[in-house]
């Protein structure tokens, strides 16, 4: 059995390091410990191989674009409140819907020539309590779309119901939970060394889990699946994604170009090209803004959330609920109180809905860490991330008291 190669540990030029966030901006200090991408085969100790033969499976998928209904499109400039708020229990479960399926009387009242723009907004936008409106200060900013921010995240919360997973390891005779942990740990290093967005990492892990839930694979292909999932996620999230050759290099040339491209086809076909999967990182950033926490508290919640990617038991958790639990545990750790009414309003979760998951995350942090899975701990032990991985764990009595207050 070959010994696993040393981890990526060279130094990066500090001038090349920038982490950009939509709400919070963090830049690495000149003493940043991370370096440029280096070759590493994450599974030499598991597979003892350097080659994988992967064939293209599945039939080609054809997409038929129907001609739009001009009559309906002409009437969809303004959507009436009655159509939007007709029933909160009857939220659409499908990711997409056709405009022509909506009843025509939904569009018969709101007409541009009958009402002004301000009046249309009052009719079409659902009302919320003034004290819960966290986007009012950004009204008029077309980049932030404050008028639709809550609706967007409510949509994502509904959409995640279509991507709920179960424990798929029972269907994988050649894989173990530890193998998946090694893979995710390696993907964390790839994200950091390629300076990819955090959304790319979370989406890549989601794509990997969804593919493993529908396809039986051998351990020799596991790193190929992870690197291909990173490539797909980078194409989806990044403005300048790494090339195919970059991912072949980072895998220590364990795979050929045609093998990676064939696996890309396999994954996309197996998932029916449904890769716009809601990830907890997006919810966490939104809910941190709702709570009004500082960057250090948000980074602590991100550390907990990223560490949870290694746990296969948490694969079945909904992204929005996982983000809420990570934020609540961070709030309790920083002694910033518990779950507030404004958080319950925007997230749709009460503190009682999160207590069980918070305890599971606490147990994850309290358990001894695996010496082979140190990428997340090393990443968040650096001062650019406020060294949140070194923050002492809150006492269990304090945690229980905070969870039973409400």
Fold of 14-55+164-270: Cyclin A; domain 1 (1.10.472)
Separation between Cα atoms, residue 186 and residue 168, nearest integer Å: 21
Q: What percent of the chain has pLDDT over 70?
A: 69
Q: Which residues are CB-neighbours of 243 under 8 A, at least 6 positions away?
A: none
Please determine, for residue 219, whether its predicted confidence score (pLDDT) is greater than 50. Answer: yes
Q: What is the pLDDT of residue 174?
A: 96
Q: Is the pLDDT of residue 76 over 70?
A: no
Q: Which residues contact 117 (CB under 8 A, 6 or more apart)?
A: none
Chain segment 190-210, per-residue pLDDT in tens: 999 999 999 999 999 999 999
pLDDT at 144: 83
Residues 385-397 have a mean pLDDT of 96
Chain centre distance of CA 107: 35
Give the integer Cα–Cα distance in Å for 19 and 27.
6
- Which of 8-12, 35-39, 358-362, 368-372 shows the lowest per-residue confidence on average (mean pLDDT)? 8-12
The pTM assigned to this predicted structure is 0.72
Check residue 221 and give its pLDDT: 96
pLDDT of residue 401: 94
Question: Over 50: is that where the pLDDT of 125 sits?
Answer: no
pLDDT in tens, 8-59: 333 334 334 333 344 344 444 444 445 556 666 666 544 433 444 444 444 4
CA 163 to CA 278: how far, in whole Å?
Answer: 8
pLDDT at 42: 62
Q: What is the mean pLDDT of residues 166-174?
A: 93
pLDDT value, residue 145: 86
At 187 the pLDDT is: 98
For the chain, what is the mean pLDDT? Answer: 79
Annotated domain spans of the chain: 14-55+164-270, 280-403
Q: How many beta carbons lie within 10 A of that of residue 391, not counting itself?
A: 16
CATH number of 280-403: 1.10.472.10
- Compute the distance between CA of residue 287 and CA of residue 325 in angstroms, rounded to an integer: 11
The yes-or-no verdict on residue 63 having pLDDT over 80 is no
Q: What is the model's pLDDT at position 140?
A: 83
pLDDT score of 400 more than 70: yes
SS3 268: helix
Candidate from 31-45, 136-150, 152-166, 220-234 with smallest mean pLDDT: 31-45
Tokens linked to 142: 């077309």
Return d(Cα 259, Cα 214) in angstroms, integer.
19
pLDDT at res. 37: 62
Helix and strand numbers, DSSP H then E, in the chain: 17, 0
Q: Do 280-403 and 14-55+164-270 have the same topology in CATH?
A: yes
Non-local (6+) Cβ contacts of 157 within 8 A are: 278, 283, 320, 348
pLDDT tier at 143, thresholds 50, 70, 90: confident
Task: Enumerate residues 6+ apart whose C-beta is below 8 A from 294.
Answer: none
Res. 354: pLDDT tops 60:
yes
19 DSSP β-pair partners: 26
Q: Quick one: pLDDT at residue 35?
A: 56
Cα–Cα dist 178/57, whole Å:
27
Percent of the chain with pLDDT over 90: 62
Residues 6 or more apart in contact with residue 229 via CB below 8 angstroms: 187, 204, 205, 207, 208, 211, 267
């Amino acid at each position: 059995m070959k010994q696993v190669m040393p981890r990526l540990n060279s130094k990066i030029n500090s001038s090349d390091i920038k982490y950009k966030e939509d709400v919070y901006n963090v830049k690495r200090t000149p003493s940043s410990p991370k370096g440029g991408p280096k070759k590493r085969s994450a599974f030499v100790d598991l597979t003892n191989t350097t080659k994988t033969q992967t064939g293209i499976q599945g039939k080609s998928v054809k997409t038929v674009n129907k001609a739009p209904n001009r009559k309906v499109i002409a009437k969809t400039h303004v959507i009436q409140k009655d159509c939007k708020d007709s029933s909160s229990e009857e939220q659409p479960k499908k990711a997409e819907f056709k405009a022509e399926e909506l009843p025509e009387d939904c569009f018969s009242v709101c007409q541009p020539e009958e009402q002004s723009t301000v009046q249309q907004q009052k009719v079409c936008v659902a009302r919320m309590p003034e004290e819960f409106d966290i986007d009012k200060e950004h009204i008029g900013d077309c980049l932030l779309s404050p008028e639709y921010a809550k609706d967007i995240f409510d949509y994502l919360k509904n959409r995640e119901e279509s991507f709920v997973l179960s424990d798929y390891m029972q269907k994988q005779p050649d894989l173990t939970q530890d193998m998946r942990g090694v893979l995710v740990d390696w993907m964390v290093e790839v994200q950091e060394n390629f300076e990819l967005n955090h959304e790319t990492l979370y989406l890549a892990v989601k794509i990997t889990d969804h593919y493993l839930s529908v396809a039986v694979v051998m351990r020799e292909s596991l790193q190929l699946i992870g690197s291909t999932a990173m490539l797909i996620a980078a194409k989806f999230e990044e403005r300048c994604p790494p090339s195919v050759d970059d991912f072949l290099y980072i895998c220590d040339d364990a795979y050929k170009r045609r093998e990676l491209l064939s696996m890309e086809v396999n994954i996309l076909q197996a998932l029916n090209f449904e890769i716009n999967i809601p990830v907890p990182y997006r919810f966490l950033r939104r809910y941190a803004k709702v709570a009004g926490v500082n960057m250090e508290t948000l980074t602590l919640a991100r550390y907990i959330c990223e560490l949870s990617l290694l746990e296969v038991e948490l694969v079945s958790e909904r992204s929005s609920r996982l983000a809420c639990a990570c934020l609540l545990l961070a709030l309790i750790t920083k002694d910033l109180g518990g779950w507030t009414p404004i958080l319950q309003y925007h997230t749709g979760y009460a503190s009682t809905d999160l207590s069980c998951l918070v305890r599971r995350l606490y147990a994850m942090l309290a358990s001894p860490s695996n010496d082979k899975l140190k990428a997340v701990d090393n990443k968040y032990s650096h001062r650019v991330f406020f060294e949140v991985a070194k923050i002492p764990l809150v006492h269990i009595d304090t945690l229980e008291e905070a969870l039973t207050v409400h």
